[in-house]
Amino acid sequence: MAWSKGHKGRPEAWDRLRSGLAKGFQFFISSALFNPFSILQNAPKPLTEEDETGFIEEPAVIDSHMITLGIWICCLYVWIDGNRGRFVKDEKLDQQIEGVPEFIHINRNDFSYRKHIKQKENDIAICECKYKANDPDSACGERCWNVLTSIECTPRYCPCSIHCKNQRFQKREYAKTKLFRAEGRGWGLLATENIKAGEFVMEYCGEVISRTEARGRSQVYVSQGLKDVYIIPLNARECIDATKKGNLARFINHSCQPNCETMKWSVLGEDRVGIFALRNISVGTELTYSYNFEWYSGAKVRCLCGATRCSGFLGGKPCGFQEDSFAWEKNNERYSGGDKPSSSLGPKKRLKHDHNGGSRPLPGKQVDAKYVAQFLASKDAQEEVLKNEEERKEALSHLASVYREIEPAIEDHDMYGPANVLTDVAEQWIGASCRKLKAEFNLHSSIIRNLICPPQRAPEDAKPSAGDPDHEIK
């Protein structure tokens, strides 16, 4: 079975046709502008009827040749696009594995949904490394500024030129791996050579799509009964979908104690995701990373990673846009078999769905301030507690609105660490969290203070009035 062939279906075919036609048309127009045919057009033509100069031109004939040629070029592009998998030479594609579901193999991200960013010269990060023949690490090794900030060096701009070691995505310096049948988890990827800690394993390639598109697609995939999830976040705005188009990285399974991690790198102005070894990995070991990010699936999948500290489920966070459901409840062999995990095995952070479709952390145990206030002796104390309760509610709703606003950036933080979160986003989040904590502290301290040492009342207030039922309650 040639598993580089694509899914058949109208949208896919239409995409190919559209992108092939666009490329062909682009080529046609640019060749018409800078055109080699103009030489033909201006060249002396064979005589059909001699004029006084001895030559005549036949532009109409040349134009129709150009149009025919243009049409041929468009057709050629459509055909090449549709059969791209056959032309991409990649040693891993030579594997013929029975039973691997079909997908289109690509070895770079697909940008059908937006234009590829062209890096501006001013934006190119140039390191200060100097190549020394006796020190291999000198040419963009661990100490390189670009490496330290997860940016790949730009060829022709790097001072180390051909010795630069920081172009691993661009040169596809992948570790050797092979597919295998992973017990209960479909297919997985094995290391077929020793991989050192920190080493680049491979890029996670797929279609670059917006988060909105990712949400839409995941719902379509769920409705189509697709169980395996291949959508991962790329940055605050976009995701990579390797469901239909991807590379071998799409087969790397999840583990709660993984030997690899995903990292976002900036390569020639575009964000790309790479898989990197967390520790030394020996030949024959399964490669895994933690799917600890927004889970683009309608169902939680029971984790079968076998780690001693397994969290029980795949994906750290369910998406806010879909209701929780449990895949093992469906009668499917790969997603059942075994008892429903106890709640202690559930995801660490439960999210509550709000009416805007966003999600926010569930509040913990709540003090019912109104209820508590009625037991306080003085009106001042009651008012103080109720005022603090109002402030706490405002702080909570402010935090929820900030959360909705910066949710993608929080995702980014959860997946790629704090280095990728903008300072003003972090400040907003910290500010709103502090306001909430302060309001909670004020509320709780006012309750405790007023319960333990109520404010001194004036002597006439303190004097019991006969038959005052309120007083007895106090």
CB of 226 to ligand SAM, least distance (A): 9
- Single-letter amino acid code for the residue at 310: C
Buried b or exposed e, range 41-69, using 16+ CB within 10 angstroms: beeeeeeeeeeeeeeeeeeeebeeebeee
In DSSP terms, 208 is beta-bridged to: 240
**Residue 72 to residue 7: CA distance in whole angstroms:** 26
Of the pair 146, 290, the CB lying nearest ligand SAM is at: 290
Residues 358/407, Cβ–Cβ less than 8 Å: yes
The CB-of-11 to ligand SAM minimum distance in angstroms stands at 21
Compute φ and ψ for 90, nearest 5 degrees: -145, 130
* DSSP conformation letters of 16-75: HHHHHHHHHHHHHHHHHHT-THHHHHHSPPPPSS--SSS----HHHHHHHHHHHHHHHHH
Please give the Cα distance from 449 to 440 (Å, whole number).
14
Residue with tokens 């129709």: 64
Pairing assessment for the beta strands 238-241 and 245-246 based on DSSP bridges: unpaired
User: At closest approach, how far in Å is the CB of 329 from ligand SAM?
Assistant: 15
Ordered alpha helix ranges (H), 92-210: 145-148
CB of 376 to ligand SAM, least distance (A): 53
CB of 98 to ligand SAM, least distance (A): 14
Binding mask 140-169 for ligand SAM (x = CB under 6 A): ------------------------------
Q: How far is the CB of 103 from ligand SAM (least distance, A)?
A: 9
231-270 residues in contact with ligand SAM (CB under 6 A) are 250-251, 253-255
Least distance in Å: CB of 301 to ligand SAM? Answer: 5
- Asked if 230 interacts with ligand SAM (CB under 6 A), we say yes
**Judged by CB under 6 A, which stretch of 158-166, 181-189, 273-281, 336-344 contacts ligand SAM?**
181-189
Q: Which of 3, 169, 187, 276 is close enough to bind ligand SAM by CB under 6 A?
A: 187
Distance of CA 15 to the CA centre of its chain: 23
Interacting span for ligand SAM (CB under 6 A) from 59-67, 208-216, 228-236, 352-360: 228-236
Using the minimum distance from each CB to ligand SAM, give the nearer residue, 182 or 402. Answer: 182
Pick from 105, 165, 185, 245 the residue near ligand SAM by CB under 6 A. 185
Identified binder of ligand SAM from the candidate list 12, 90, 228, 414, rule CB under 6 A = 228
Tell me the site size for ligand SAM, rule CB under 6 A: 19
Distance CA 1, CA 96 (A): 6
Instruction: Compute the least distance from the CB of residue 166 to ligand SAM, in Å.
Output: 27
Is the CB of 228 or the CB of 407 nearer to ligand SAM?
A: 228
Site map for ligand SAM, 292-331, x if CB under 6 A? ---------x-xxx--------x-----------------
Of 256, 272, 263, 233, the closest CA to residue 419 belongs to 263
Please, what is the minimum distance in Å from the beta carbon of residue 186 to ligand SAM? 3
Of 67-75, 222-230, 400-408, 458-466, the window that binds ligand SAM (rule: CB under 6 A) is: 222-230
Q: What is the 3-state secondary structure (H, E, C) of 305-352?
A: CCCCCCCCECCCEECCCCCCCEHHHCCCHHHCCCCCCCHHHCCCCCEE
Q: Which is nearer to ligand SAM, 108 or 227 (CB)?
A: 227
Shortest distance, position 6 Cβ to ligand SAM, whole Å: 16
Which tokens sit at 140? 């963009």
Q: CB of 69: closest distance to ligand SAM in angstroms?
A: 43
Closer residue to ligand SAM, CB minimum distance, 152 or 207 = 207
Strands 177-182 and 288-289: unpaired
| Cβ closest to ligand SAM, residue 154 vs residue 290 | 290
The DSSP element (H or E) to which 191 belongs, if any, is strand 186-191
In the set 186, 346, 358, 454, which binds ligand SAM (CB under 6 A)? 186
Buried-state track 356-394, b at ≥16 Cβ within 10 A, e below 16: eebbbeeeeeeeebeebbeebbeeebbebbbebbebbee
Cβ-based nearer residue to ligand SAM, 102 or 391 = 102
- In the complex with ligand SAM, the residue whose CB is nearer, 66 or 303, is 303
Distance CA 438, CA 369 (A): 16
- Which is closer to ligand SAM, CB of 188 or CB of 358? 188
Provide the 8-state DSSP code for 101. P
**Residue closer to ligand SAM, measured from CB, 74 or 301:** 301
The residue number whose beta carbon is nearest to ligand SAM equals 186
Please identify, using beta-carbon distances, which residue of 305 and 432 lies nearer to ligand SAM: 305
Residue 235 · residue 201 · CB < 8 Å: no
In the complex, the residues that contact ligand SAM under the rule CB under 6 A are 182, 185-188, 227-230, 250-251, 253-255, 301, 303-305, 314
